[in-house]
Amino acid sequence: MLDYKLIQPLADSLEMKSVPLLDSRATILVIAENFAFGPVGILLTIAPSLKKKGYRLIFLGYGTAYQLARREACFDEIHLIDTSSDDFIKKASWLFQKADAVLSVDDRPTIQLAKKLHKPTIWIDMLLYYWDTLPSFLWSADL
C-alpha cells in the first residue's frame, strides 16, 4: 500500500517558477485518472500544498476521481468531464486555455492535449515502476 506521507515532501517542494502569474496567482488545471482512489489520493495529497502556496486549482475529471475531488475545499473550480470520451477535446479545451499549467496524475489524454496547446505540464505516474514502456509524449512533460 502506498504511504501518501512519502509524497508530501514532493508536494511541499513543488514550485512552478516558470509559470506566468494570472491575477497574482498561477492557475493550474489538475487531473487524476479515474482508476479507483490511487491517482486522486495522490492529487489530494499534493493539492493542499499547492493551494497554500497561492495557486488557483481547477479540477477536471470523472468517476471516482470526481467523486472525491468534489468533496474537497482545495479546488477553485470542479468540472465533470470524461477524459477518455470521444468529445473530450471539444468539452475541455476551454479549461486548458484558462490554465497556466497542467498537472496530471496518471491521466494520459490530458498531457496530450496540454502539449498540443503548448501548456507547461507536470506528469505524476504512480505506476512508473510497472510499465515496460511509456508513450513518447509522456517524456515531453516539463516536470
92 close to 60: Cβ distance less than 8 angstroms = yes
Query: DSSP 3-state assignment of 98?
Result: helix
CA distance 78 to 96: 13
* pLDDT tens per residue, range 97-108: 999 999 999 888
Q: How many CA atoms lie within 13 A of 69 on its CB side?
A: 31
pTM, whole model, 2 decimals?
Answer: 0.79
CA distance 86 to 64: 20
* pLDDT tens per residue, range 30-73: 999 998 888 999 999 999 999 998 999 999 999 999 999 999 99
